[in-house]
Chains A and B, each alone.
Chain A
Amino acid sequence: MITYLEAIREAQAKALADDPRVYIYGQDVGNFGGAFKATKNLAKDFPGRVLDAPISEDAIIGSAVGAAIGGMRPIIEMQFADFSTVGFNQVVNQAATLYWRTETACPITVRLPSGGTAGSGPFHSQSMEGLYAMFPGLVVMTPATVEDAYSMLLEAVAIDDPVIFCEHKYLYYHLKAEGLPTEALPVGKARIARMGRDATVVTYSAMLHECLAMADELATEGYEIEVVDLRSIKPLDTDTVLASVARTGRLLAVGEAWPWGGVTAEVVARVASEGFALLDAPPRRLNAKDTPIPYHPNLWGTHRPTAQTIARATRDLLRL
């Protein structure tokens, strides 16, 4: 068995082994192996290519852009997605504009350990994907499975554009698969994670597993819920979403990020504008509450969508 976190480590090991242009730079990623151990043993196995960086998110990402111009393929670990706001300028103004302005590719991968876990509080729990997806010139990946964590990270390193790789901390240790995949859907294609006919629930990252649990629960009530895993949110596979809504006539978009704008709003907007006639009911969204992310599990467990709240929202949708 291999965990989601081990898949991320294995993908980095493979990228380092396969391509001499790859190096890893970030806080505590060296001998310590990273705050979550996503780079465990890599500094030893790849001497001089897995380097501890000073606590300087801006300079870390700026340096990655310079190294990419210089022909390298840096993998940057932000210790927590939340801290990437300190390097935000270098991502959205430097990395994301470089190709458009100069026709110089910027193949950097910025790994963002994302999302909430119990007890992590306001500054170690955020979901930043929607923020980055707003900016042209970036690819934003949000893997929900062990297989995708592995294959999409390899693809992130291989492509010539800056990639924001949102890996979910909640999945790191508990999500397991039999082994590493040998083939994968390309980035940009969503996946039907569960087939159904009564409603479409579109989601990504850790929320996929809450949605699948919800679909199990509603199956006992006689409903067949189709669950779409977006996999990447930019590009966002609108065709797969629309095809699913064409089958079910109902849409619920679920995300762990905050409710103003973001991925779920984008999904609903696209379906409303391109697939209005497919809908038998108003499209719905379910997100986290519009407050900072709370510390105590009693609060945190209610702040984010869960299988129970998603089930409630889905039942409401089915009644419309």
Chain B
Amino acid sequence: MLDFAKGVSAPAAAQGTFVQAYRWMLLARLVEEKLASLYRGGKIFGGVFIGKGQEALSVALGITLKKGDLYAPLIRDQAGRLAFGEPLLDGIRTYLGSRLGPMRGRDGNVHRGRPREGIFPMISHLGSMISVVCGALMARRFKGETGAVGAACLGEGGTSTGAFHEAMNLAAVERLPLVMVVANNQYAYSTPNDRQFVCEDLSSRAAGYGIAGHTVDGTDLDACLTVMEEAVGRARRGEGPQLVVANLLRLSGHGEHDDAAYIDPALKASPLGRDCLRLTEEALLAREWAGEGDLACWREEALREVEEAVATVQREPLPDPNTEHWCALATTRLVDSFTAESSF
């Protein structure tokens, strides 16, 4: 029997999907804890940005998208990246600057991707990736390829940008199969929502674009899986762009450098402040889809996977300024030979 009193919703997803989603969430949580620990040990250049508290939303999108879809994750999407198919090594290699990683030390941390495989590497300018996904969907349409969906992720703060508005409107005008996922985690760095926007629910903005809007409890994996199934399905069926807004709370600082002392304790104590990973574990136990032993075993497996991956990457070659190909153009004959030489 389900225990609704404890806030566990009715199972919407099949057991297999739910369990798989949980295991990606767990792996994401553990690899990010490891990266945070490496950061505190001074082993990582620049910042570390984790998705604690946002894994349910993130994984729900990643697991709902299919191979061949397009995906522009943002900074708190480790879980979704894993579920979409990004190798665990990609994140670790990018943080540690391994030459074998997708970014080869040229870019770091969350700025990683494999564009030709449909994972777009974010730039720091929020909202900027949405139109890139739009264009990739237009390319599919030009080539007569149908059935693919493109998804872009953003926080509520990023919805204040012009880039967000321009891209949403363009997606609507072009009727693109875009799923725009907004993690409303209550703070954009330190800025609370009452200094960011005034509307009751960000998904109400969908009406202004003439597109479908969805609101979901971002702490609830069932609800997230359900809303993604709906939104991704509708986009795939040609029903145009979908705006999904998930309400949740960032259970960390903006980055590991940030103690997040500005977060209102009342929010932490509210339903928004519940840890989605813990809630998912409770649901697994309540539904008897897993026992305590299973949870311990999965955690052990994930920990081992993380430790092995980190150990592997730590032995890998680092970027070498002497062998680096210092050339920003694909067309080498068009390199300005004077600027190329005068910088040495």
**A interface residues, Cβ below 8 angstroms from B:** 21, 23, 48-49, 53-54, 56-72, 74, 86, 89-90, 93-94, 96-102, 104-106, 136-137, 139, 159-161, 186-188, 234-236, 238, 270, 273-274
A90 and B162 CA atoms in complex are apart in Å by 12
Known: A71-B143, A160-B331. A58 touches B163 (CB 8 A): yes
Inter-chain contacts of A56 with B (CB < 8 A): 131, 166-167, 169-170
> In chain B between 97 and 131, which residues have their CB closer than 8 angstroms to a CB of chain A?
102-103, 106-107, 111, 113-116, 120-121, 123-125, 128-131
Known: A59-B169, A100-B328. A159 touches B334 (CB 8 A): yes
Known: A63-B132, A69-B116, A102-B121. A159 touches B331 (CB 8 A): yes
A99 and B139 CA atoms in complex are apart in Å by 18
Per-position 1/0 for B44-78, Cβ under 8 A of A: 00000000000000000000000000000000000
Is B142 close to A, CB under 8 A? yes
**B interface residues, Cβ below 8 angstroms from A:** 102-103, 106-107, 111, 113-116, 120-121, 123-125, 128-140, 142-143, 162-163, 166-167, 169-170, 173, 328-331, 333-338, 342
Complex A-B: 20 CB contacts under 8 Å: A53-B170, A59-B134, A63-B134, A64-B135, A65-B131, A66-B134, A69-B115, A70-B138, A71-B139, A89-B163, A93-B123, A94-B123, A96-B328, A100-B328, A102-B114, A105-B330, A159-B330, A160-B330, A235-B334, A235-B337
Inter-chain contacts of B163 with A (CB < 8 A): 58-59, 62, 89-90
Give the shortest distance, in Å, between B56 (CB) and chain A (any CB). Answer: 28
Give the shortest distance, in Å, between A2 (CB) and chain B (any CB). Answer: 27
A103 and B130 CA atoms in complex are apart in Å by 21
Q: Which of A97, A136, A159, A273 contacts B123 (CB 8 A)?
A: A97
Give the shortest distance, in Å, between A85 (CB) and chain B (any CB). Answer: 12
A104 touching B115, Cβ below 8 Å: yes
Which B residue sits closest to A239, measured CB to CB?
B337
A233 and B334 CA atoms in complex are apart in Å by 11
Inter-chain contacts of B102 with A (CB < 8 A): 102
B137 touching A66, Cβ below 8 Å: yes
Q: Which of A67, A93, A274 contacts B138 (CB 8 A)?
A: A67
B329 touching A270, Cβ below 8 Å: no
B336 touching A235, Cβ below 8 Å: yes
Which A residue sits closest to B107, measured CB to CB?
A101
A89 and B328 CA atoms in complex are apart in Å by 17
B328 touching A67, Cβ below 8 Å: no
A66 touching B338, Cβ below 8 Å: no
A99 and B328 CA atoms in complex are apart in Å by 7
Inter-chain contacts of B103 with A (CB < 8 A): 101-102
A99 touching B329, Cβ below 8 Å: yes
B142 touching A93, Cβ below 8 Å: no
B131 touching A238, Cβ below 8 Å: no
Known: A100-B328, A188-B334, A235-B335. A62 touches B107 (CB 8 A): no
Q: Which of A23, A94, A101 contacts B142 (CB 8 A)?
A: A23
Give the shortest distance, in Å, between A28 (CB) and chain B (any CB). Answer: 14
A138 and B113 CA atoms in complex are apart in Å by 21
A55 and B121 CA atoms in complex are apart in Å by 26
Known contacts A59-B170, A66-B136, A161-B334; can you find 11 more A-B pairs with CB under 8 A? A54-B166, A62-B131, A63-B167, A66-B133, A70-B136, A70-B138, A86-B162, A94-B128, A94-B132, A99-B330, A102-B102
Which B residue sits closest to A105, measured CB to CB?
B330
Give the shortest distance, in Å, between B141 (CB) and chain A (any CB). Answer: 9
B331 touching A274, Cβ below 8 Å: no
Inter-chain contacts of B123 with A (CB < 8 A): 93-94, 97
A137 touching B136, Cβ below 8 Å: no
A67 and B167 CA atoms in complex are apart in Å by 14
A235 and B329 CA atoms in complex are apart in Å by 11
A187 touching B334, Cβ below 8 Å: yes
B330 touching A67, Cβ below 8 Å: no
Most central of A23, A65, A68 by chain B CB within 10 Å = A65
Inter-chain contacts of B139 with A (CB < 8 A): 66-72
Give the shortest distance, in Å, between B71 (CB) and chain A (any CB). Answer: 12
B331 touching A161, Cβ below 8 Å: yes
B111 touching A59, Cβ below 8 Å: no
Known: A101-B121, A139-B334, A236-B336. A65 touches B170 (CB 8 A): no
Q: Which of B128, B137, B330, B342 contacts A62 (CB 8 A)?
A: B128
A62 touching B130, Cβ below 8 Å: yes
Give the shortest distance, in Å, between A52 (CB) and chain B (any CB). Answer: 9
Known: A66-B134, A93-B128. A139 touches B142 (CB 8 A): no
A62 touching B132, Cβ below 8 Å: yes
Most central of A72, A99, A235, A274 by chain B CB within 10 Å = A235
Inter-chain contacts of B128 with A (CB < 8 A): 58, 62, 89-90, 93-94
Inter-chain contacts of B134 with A (CB < 8 A): 59, 62-63, 66
The 5 closest A-B pairs by CB, nearest first: A66-B135, A70-B139, A62-B131, A63-B135, A59-B166
Known: A89-B163, A101-B103, A274-B338. A59 touches B131 (CB 8 A): yes
Give the shortest distance, in Å, between A232 (CB) and chain B (any CB). Answer: 8
Give the shortest distance, in Å, between B102 (CB) and chain A (any CB). Answer: 7
B135 touching A139, Cβ below 8 Å: no
Which B residue sits closest to A71, measured CB to CB?
B139
Which A residue sits closest to B161, measured CB to CB?
A58
A101 touching B111, Cβ below 8 Å: yes
A65 touching B166, Cβ below 8 Å: no
Inter-chain contacts of B125 with A (CB < 8 A): 89, 93
Give the shortest distance, in Å, between B236 (CB) and chain A (any CB). Answer: 17
Which B residue sits closest to A63, measured CB to CB?
B135
